[in-house]
Amino acid sequence: MDAAELLNGFATVLTPQNLLLVLAGCLLGTVIGVLPGVGPVAGTAILIPLTMGLDPAGAIIMLAAIFYGSQYGGTITSVLINTPGEAASAITCIDGYAMTKKGKAGVALGIAAIGSFIGGTLATVGLVVAAAPLSSLGLKIGPPEFFALMVLGMSLLVGLAGTSMVRALISGSLGLLLAMVGTDPHAGLPRFSFGVVHFFDGLEFVAVLVGLFGLGEILAGLADRRQASADTQVGRLLPNRQELRDSSGAIGRGSLIGFLLGIIPGMTGSASSLLAYGAERKFARNRDQLGEGAIEGVASPESANNAHANSALIPLFTLGIPGSPTVAVLMGAFLMNGLTPGPMLFETDADIAWAVIASLFVGNLMCLVLNLPLIRVWTMLLKVPRPLLTSLILVFLVVGSYSINNSTIDVMVMFVFGIVGLFFRRLDIPLAPLVLTLILGPFMETSLRRSLSMSLGDFSIFVTRPISLTLLVLAAVIILSPLLRLRRRGQDKQDSRFDRMREDSEV
Amino acid sequence: MKKSMLVSGLCLVVALFGAGCAKAEKSGDGATDENWPSGETMEMIVGYSAGGTTDTMARELAAELEKKLDVQIQVVNQDGAGGQQAYTDLANAEPDGLTIGTINYPTILSTMIDKSKGATYKLDDFQLLANHVNDPRITVVQPDSDYKNADDLVEYAKENPGKLRGATSGLAGGGHFSMLKLEEATGADFSPVHFDTGQEDAKAAFLGGHVDVYFASVGDALEIIESGDGRPVGLMDEERSDLLPDVPTFKEQGIDVQEAGMRGYSLPAGVPEERLKILSDALEEIITSPEHKKALAKLSLVPAYMDPEEYAAWLDEQLPTVEKFNEVAMEDK
């Protein structure tokens, strides 16, 4: 693509007014990310009218900044109080909060900001260099490929199992069951909705996650009568050499996964961060530590969701298709400003398109610079006395879950899943598989049924298409490899019975 | 400049915090009716998510209505259950004229008809206000396919029943209805693939070549038609669209099918007559103005004003057809 046009774009962005707009967007985005319930979709939509007075370039630059800024902000509450600020940061709770308990909150937030910056910037480079070929690649992912990708995602359950496969399956199956609530996508009939119209669209999974993680943690703390379970030590902000070495691979993998999934229309940032986290189970240096505060468990999903946020603009710019709900809001902003995103955009309004792209580079840098010093501010939360902090978080949880849809039903859902979260902790059932299946389940179902509509009910559609076949084979390898390893070991040496049982349970 | 930016920045933050919890305080009772609704805060319930066609359309209108009536309008996106959530909220709202909601055909009717949805409202629970736009259905095929016009497509779909896969925006939605109406009128047979998660997913599947036909609306498909990524074979309207003057209607090609995407506004039933008149006059003036037509064209939409009576009569008229096709749709899984 044309370097001169990109430079022109930078010239547009680097004016005082537009720089201020980027800054305001990053700040607001961070705040939106921090508030549970007010996710990027609602947040961006609420703020659209406030950009009406600006010129088109300025308005869109600011809204885009709000969008990726929120991906930075979502991590903060995940790490500090075990409550996801938005869905794409839910999985970060697991290792992020574990790091906080170990007194490494600073490093966790630091690496999240750095990973987010790298992920976002790499994705923008991809946008500049290869937007057109990548977008046609994204379109090749039809329903059958989408389904295969979801199977691959689910196969990562094997990796997320923790200490017991049985417990992981309990958690995963419950997630799938909860994903069934809603309207049957093919028959149009309500399922498990108990006549409540609110449930026709399924359980609001942000409310479920906020309950499971946030409220569950509080209840577990109260039940144990734990005093100050979280270490109030914040520690360093910048990771040391060892941590950097550990997380550099994770950031790379996360960025790549987020980038690739971002160009597929219909994929969301939360799916990206989940798959990135799952991949760490296979590839991370400290994979045994994953779930107990491994830095990779923060670095990878956070890089992924930011890479996703930026690469999701590729289908918007080149095809006029918003890849995710938040990008759809952004598309609305384009339209309101008289710009039509799509193949004609670079011909009719090239200056604005390039200004927006240039603003992504500037904005990601700004978010990083802004977020590192802010970490000290956010972590002051941990210094609040425990009883006060607990009550504050409770208020936060209730307001947050109410504001998702302005509905008290979501607040009740949050409370119910808080109690479920308590039982999970008591029975030592991992939360990660539930998050995985709850979020990926609906994708899997709709893509399965669409594929079968396409093939008139013929299942061979999944193995006759090359991309889908490759993904399914990969999933099969992931599922079967621990079993094969187990068998080989059994042949190599005769383990004691006890050892073999332990092996079994570790699978 | 800098200061005003800072102030507006602060306002943004405050607004953001407030937005979740603040519901407009309504002071409808004590207002003197001669100035009504000057200075009031109104609420506009939009049944679809922010950024979608209905939302952008409603926000565009709300901005002009604010100026005209000197009011504040809060747009609330109550997306859920294909609009049913919003219709329920609207039907139950205080009939003081300060709550307006968007009405989308055919979902306003199909949610009432489908008993499994348990909708608690009837058409009588609404005081219709105005129809805003007509976004007619259009049938689009792959640009490298052999179907140059409606006849080619129908011919092939008759000879090879079920072989052509058609993307719709969801079971018993407008796109699906347009497919069923075309089937009924011609005897063609398509296999529907429902993209209930949104129009955009249907469009992506069409662009990726995963389906053969795209049962879209003009607003959805304008971009890909202009860029040459899709070839329109027919428009389901009485006349050609101003946005696509070269695309023939089905009727011109001897196939009488019409399916419109009508979108308008309503109040809850029981709003005082004079308030209804103030609002409906204001809407008429806005919707029929040439400037508004230009603004809508940017959103790929064409205004089609109907006054409260016309609008109510039109919806009433559609009821039996929607009832019939809803039944067909449920059988045609």
Q: What distance in Å separates residue B127's CA from the closest CA in chain A?
A: 23
**In whole angstroms, how large is the CA radius of gyration of chain B?**
21
A179: number of CA atoms within 13 Å, CB side?
Answer: 20
pLDDT band, very low/low/confident/very high, at A342 (cuts 50, 70, 90): confident
- Which residues in chain B have their CB less than 8 angstroms from residue A453's CB? 165, 191-194
For B172, which residue in chain A has the nearest alpha carbon?
A: A188
Distance CA B67, CA A75 (A): 40
pLDDT at A506 over 50: no
Distance CA A468, CA A452 (A): 14
If you average pLDDT over residues A348-354, what whole number do you get?
A: 85
**Contact yes or no for A443/A271 (Cβ under 8 A):** yes
Structure tokens, A136: 């046609």
Supply the pLDDT for residue A2. Answer: 67
Interchain CB contact of A340 with B (< 8 Å)? yes
pLDDT band, very low/low/confident/very high, at B330 (cuts 50, 70, 90): confident
Report cis status (omega within 30 of 0) of the bond before B106: yes
Task: Produce one character per residue of B52-72: b if its CB has 16 or more CB atoms within 10 Å, e if not.
Answer: bbbbbbbbbbbbbbeeebebe
Supply the pLDDT for residue B231. Answer: 96
A121-150 residues touching B, CB cutoff 8 A? 139-143
**Contact yes or no for B33/A68 (Cβ under 8 A):** no
What pLDDT digit, counting tens, does each position of A91-138 carry? 999 999 999 888 888 899 999 999 999 999 999 999 888 877 887 788
Interchain CB contact of A33 with B (< 8 Å)? no
Closest CB to A450: pick one of B117, B193, B207: B193
CB spacing of A266 vs B200 below 8 angstroms: yes
What pLDDT digit, counting tens, does each position of B66-104 carry? 999 999 898 887 776 778 888 988 999 999 999 999 999
Supply the pLDDT for residue A481. Answer: 76
Q: Which residue has the higher pLDDT, B12 or A221?
A: A221
**3-class state of residue A461 by DSSP:** helix
**Contact yes or no for B49/B77 (Cβ under 8 A):** yes
pLDDT at A389 over 60: yes
pLDDT band, very low/low/confident/very high, at B21 (cuts 50, 70, 90): very low
What pLDDT digit, counting tens, does each position of A28-74 carry? 888 888 877 677 777 777 777 677 778 888 888 998 898 888 888 88
All CATH 3.40.190.10 domain ranges in chain B, comma separated: 136-253
pLDDT at B125 over 70: yes
Q: Which residue has the higher pLDDT, A325 or A368?
A: A368
Structure tokens, B90: 């609207």
Supply the pLDDT for residue B136. Answer: 93
CB spacing of A325 vs B205 below 8 angstroms: no
pLDDT band, very low/low/confident/very high, at A492 (cuts 50, 70, 90): low
Q: B168 forms bridges with which residues in the sheet?
A: B194
Give the DSSP per-residue string, A359-406.
HHHHHHHHHHHHHHHHHHHHHGGGGS-HHHHHHHHHHHHHHHHHHHHT
- Which residues in chain A have their CB less than 8 angstroms from residue B330's CB? 187-188
Distance CA A209, CA A229 (A): 21
Q: B138 forms bridges with which residues in the sheet?
A: B216, B235
All CATH 3.40.190.150 domain ranges in chain B, comma separated: 33-134+261-331
CB spacing of B16 vs A27 below 8 angstroms: no
Give the range among A42-51, A94-103, A387-396, B33-42 with minimum mean pLDDT: A42-51
Q: What distance in Å separates residue A201's CA from the closest CA in chain B?
A: 6
For B329, which residue in chain A has the nearest alpha carbon?
A: A187
**Contact yes or no for B329/B178 (Cβ under 8 A):** no
For A24, which residue in chain B has the nearest alpha carbon?
A: B9
- Which residues in chain B have their CB less than 8 angstroms from residue A27's CB? 9, 13
Closest CB to A265: pick one of B60, B204, B300: B204
pLDDT at A187 over 60: yes
CB spacing of B49 vs A143 below 8 angstroms: no
**Contact yes or no for A157/A168 (Cβ under 8 A):** yes
Closest CA to A357 of A345, A368, A369: A345
**Contact yes or no for A462/A473 (Cβ under 8 A):** no
- Which residues in chain B have their CB less than 8 angstroms from residue A336's CB? 56, 59-60, 298-299
pLDDT at B313 over 50: yes
CB spacing of A140 vs B208 below 8 angstroms: yes
Q: What distance in Å separates residue A461's CA from the closest CA in chain B?
A: 12
Supply the pLDDT for residue B77. Answer: 79
Closest CB to B116: pick one of A190, A325, A344: A190
CATH superfamily of B33-134+261-331: Bordetella uptake gene, domain 1 (3.40.190.150)
Element containing residue A279 per DSSP (H, E): helix A269-283
Q: State chain B's mean pLDDT as an integer.
A: 85
Supply the pLDDT for residue B20. Answer: 42
Q: State chain A's mean pLDDT as an integer.
A: 84
pLDDT at A185 over 90: no
Q: Residue A406's CB: how many other CB atoms inside 10 A?
A: 17
Closest CA to B58 of B19, B109, B12, B100: B100
- Which residues in chain B have their CB less than 8 angstroms from residue A46's CB? 15-16, 19
pLDDT band, very low/low/confident/very high, at B17 (cuts 50, 70, 90): very low
Closest CB to A343: pick one of B195, B208, B227: B227
Give the range among A4-8, A39-43, B174-178 with minimum mean pLDDT: A39-43
Q: Return the percentage of chain B with pLDDT > 90, whole number.
A: 51
CB spacing of A188 vs B330 below 8 angstroms: yes
B196: number of CA atoms within 13 Å, CB side?
Answer: 23
Q: Which residue has the higher pLDDT, B84 or B20?
A: B84
pLDDT band, very low/low/confident/very high, at A159 (cuts 50, 70, 90): low
What pLDDT digit, counting tens, does each position of A404-425 carry? 777 899 999 999 999 999 999 8
A82: left (phi over 0), alpha (psi -120 to 50) or beta: left
Interchain CB contact of A200 with B (< 8 Å)? yes
Interchain CB contact of A32 with B (< 8 Å)? yes
- Which residues in chain A have their CB less than 8 angstroms from residue B300's CB? 340
- Which residues in chain B have their CB less than 8 angstroms from residue A195's CB? 118
Distance CA A436, CA A174 (A): 11
pLDDT at A355 over 80: yes
What pLDDT digit, counting tens, does each position of B222-236 carry? 888 988 999 999 999
**Contact yes or no for A422/A156 (Cβ under 8 A):** no
Supply the pLDDT for residue A270. Answer: 87
Q: What distance in Å separates residue B273's CA from the closest CA in chain A?
A: 31
Interchain CB contact of A408 with B (< 8 Å)? no
pLDDT at B143 over 50: yes
Substitution target from B21, B193, B296, B326 for chain A, most A beta carbons within 10 A: B193
Supply the pLDDT for residue B98. Answer: 92
pLDDT band, very low/low/confident/very high, at A496 (cuts 50, 70, 90): very low
**Contact yes or no for B86/B45 (Cβ under 8 A):** yes
CB spacing of B298 vs A319 below 8 angstroms: no
CA–centroid distance for A393 within its chain: 22
Classify burial at A125, counting beta carbons within 10 Å of its beta carbon; exposed 0-12, middle 13-18, buried 19 or more.
middle
Closest CB to A43: pick one of B16, B195, B208: B16
In the CATH hierarchy, which fold is given to the domain comprising B136-253? D-Maltodextrin-Binding Protein; domain 2 (3.40.190)
What pLDDT digit, counting tens, does each position of B185-219 carry? 999 999 999 887 777 788 889 999 999 999 999 98
Residue B127 phi, psi dihedral angles, 5° rounding: -105, 100
If you average pLDDT over residues A306-328, what whole number do you get?
A: 83
Distance CA A485, CA B200 (A): 44
pLDDT at B22 over 60: no
Supply the pLDDT for residue B164. Answer: 94
Q: Residue B14's CB: how many other CB atoms inside 10 A?
A: 10
CB spacing of A187 vs B298 below 8 angstroms: no
pLDDT band, very low/low/confident/very high, at B2 (cuts 50, 70, 90): very low
What pLDDT digit, counting tens, does each position of A271-297 carry? 899 999 988 888 888 878 888 889 999
A159-162 LR contacts (CB < 8 Å, sep 24+): A159/A278, A159/A281, A159/A282, A159/A478, A160/A277, A160/A278, A160/A281, A160/A291, A160/A430, A160/A432, A160/A433, A160/A436, A161/A430, A161/A433, A161/A507, A162/A291, A162/A430, A162/A432
Between strands B126-134 and B72-77, the pairing is unpaired
Contacts of residue B9, defined as CB under 8 A and 6 or more positions apart, other chains included, come to: A24, A27, A28
Q: A471 forms bridges with which residues in the sheet?
A: none
pLDDT at A361 over 60: yes
Interchain CB contact of A265 with B (< 8 Å)? yes
pLDDT band, very low/low/confident/very high, at B285 (cuts 50, 70, 90): very high
Distance CA A55, CA A52 (A): 8
Residue A233 phi, psi dihedral angles, 5° rounding: -65, 130
pLDDT band, very low/low/confident/very high, at A478 (cuts 50, 70, 90): confident
Between strands B213-217 and B72-77, the pairing is unpaired
Report cis status (omega within 30 of 0) of the bond before B37: yes
Structure tokens, A424: 């999970």
- Which residues in chain B have their CB less than 8 angstroms from residue A342's CB? 223-224, 227
Q: What distance in Å separates residue B131's CA from the closest CA in chain A?
A: 20
Alpha-carbon torsion, ordered A4, A5, A8, A10, to 10 deg: -100
